[in-house]
Amino acid sequence: MPDQVTRLLVIRHGETPWNTEARIQGHIDIPLNDKGRWQAERVAQALADEGLHAIYSSDLQRARHTAEAIAQAAGLPLSVDESLRERHFGRFEGMTQEEVASQWPEEARRWRERDPAYGPDGGETLEDFYERCMDAITRLARQHPGQSIALVAHGGVLDCFYRAANGLELDLPRSWKITNASVNRLLFNGEGFSMVGWADNRHLEDDESASLDERTDGAVNAVARRA
């Protein structure tokens, strides 16, 4: 019987100027900075011999440009999928965590505590965002049984994937890292996801500074407050 398991490499985009400023990006189309472009080239080199069959990316340029480097190194076309976008943070986008907490302390509390039913004004609830992300990865995984695919997306998207693969609730504070241009490995058996490896950034080890964790994208939670 042929192997029907889909092997997924899920990658967060390279660094952006707003990552370094800890500004909430959401759906705002922020480009990679110089370090982010370097990270994209390094992760592309690391995955060039992975035997990938397809590469998918969020349509936002920070993810798309990271994925374009991977696609070029692998000699594959890139498929862009809007459903892999970061969570829509509504009126929070462009702000820092401190600015949100100062203007809307009660909303900041619900966000920090990961209230699944809460969404910023004009944005997505955590429940809706999780459903969107899981619908996307399940749909794409089902298209490639027995193959290996790469998905380039965003910190919040990868957080959903991690929770699904490990059976974790949405309101559980995050203790795992989701760094720029790290490689994370999942399996899909036709029914659900499991995790093989997480936060592999060996290809970035000669960088002078560590990649920024996803919490610098503005994903406020209890862990971030202690970090």
What's the whole-number mean pLDDT along residues 28-47? Answer: 98
* Tokens of residue 54, six digits: 């397809």
One-letter amino acid at 158 equals L
Higher pLDDT, 225 or 25: 25
pLDDT score recorded for residue 222: 35
User: Phi/psi at 126 (nearest 5 deg)?
Assistant: -65, -40
Which residues have a Cβ under 8 Å from the Cβ of 34 and sit 6 or more positions away?
Answer: none
The pLDDT tens digits of the residues spanning 148-187 come to 999 999 999 999 999 999 999 999 999 999 999 999 999 9
Res 225 pLDDT > 90:
no
pLDDT bucket at 226, cuts 50 / 70 / 90: very low
Sheet of strand 6-12, all strands in order from the earlier edge strand to the far edge: 78-80, 54-57, 148-153, 6-12, 183-188, 193-200
Predicted structure pTM score: 0.92
| Mean of pLDDT over the chain | 92
Among all chains, which residue has been given the structure tokens 């302390």?
Answer: 105
CA pair distance 135, 124, nearest whole angstrom = 15
Give me the residues paired with residue 198 across strands: none
The pLDDT tens digits of the residues spanning 61-120 come to 999 999 999 999 999 999 999 999 999 999 999 999 999 999 999 999 999 999 999 999
CA pair distance 2, 128, nearest whole angstrom = 35
Query: DSSP character for 149?
Result: E
Domains of the chain (ranges plus CATH)? 6-226 (3.40.50.1240)
User: What are the Cα distances from residue 139, in Å, to 4, 83, 133, 145?
Assistant: 15, 11, 10, 11
Q: Which of 110, 122, 227, 83 is nearest to 170 (CA)?
A: 110
pLDDT score recorded for residue 206: 80
CA pair distance 125, 134, nearest whole angstrom = 14
- Cα Rg for the chain, rounded, in angstroms? 17
CA pair distance 118, 143, nearest whole angstrom = 32
User: What angle is formed at CA 207 by the lines to CA 206 and CA 209, rounded to 5 degrees?
Assistant: 135
pLDDT bucket at 218, cuts 50 / 70 / 90: very low
Query: DSSP character for 114?
Result: T
Kindly give the pairing relationship between strand 6-12 and strand 183-188: antiparallel
pLDDT bucket at 212, cuts 50 / 70 / 90: confident
Give me the residues paired with residue 7 across strands: 148, 187
pLDDT score recorded for residue 2: 47
Residues labelled as active-site residues: 13, 86
What's the whole-number mean pLDDT along residues 25-54? Answer: 98
pLDDT bucket at 16, cuts 50 / 70 / 90: very high
Q: Which of 124, 156, 151, 127 is nearest to 139 (CA)?
A: 151
* Tokens of residue 79, six digits: 């498929």
pLDDT score recorded for residue 36: 98
In angstroms, the first-to-last Cα distance of the chain is 48
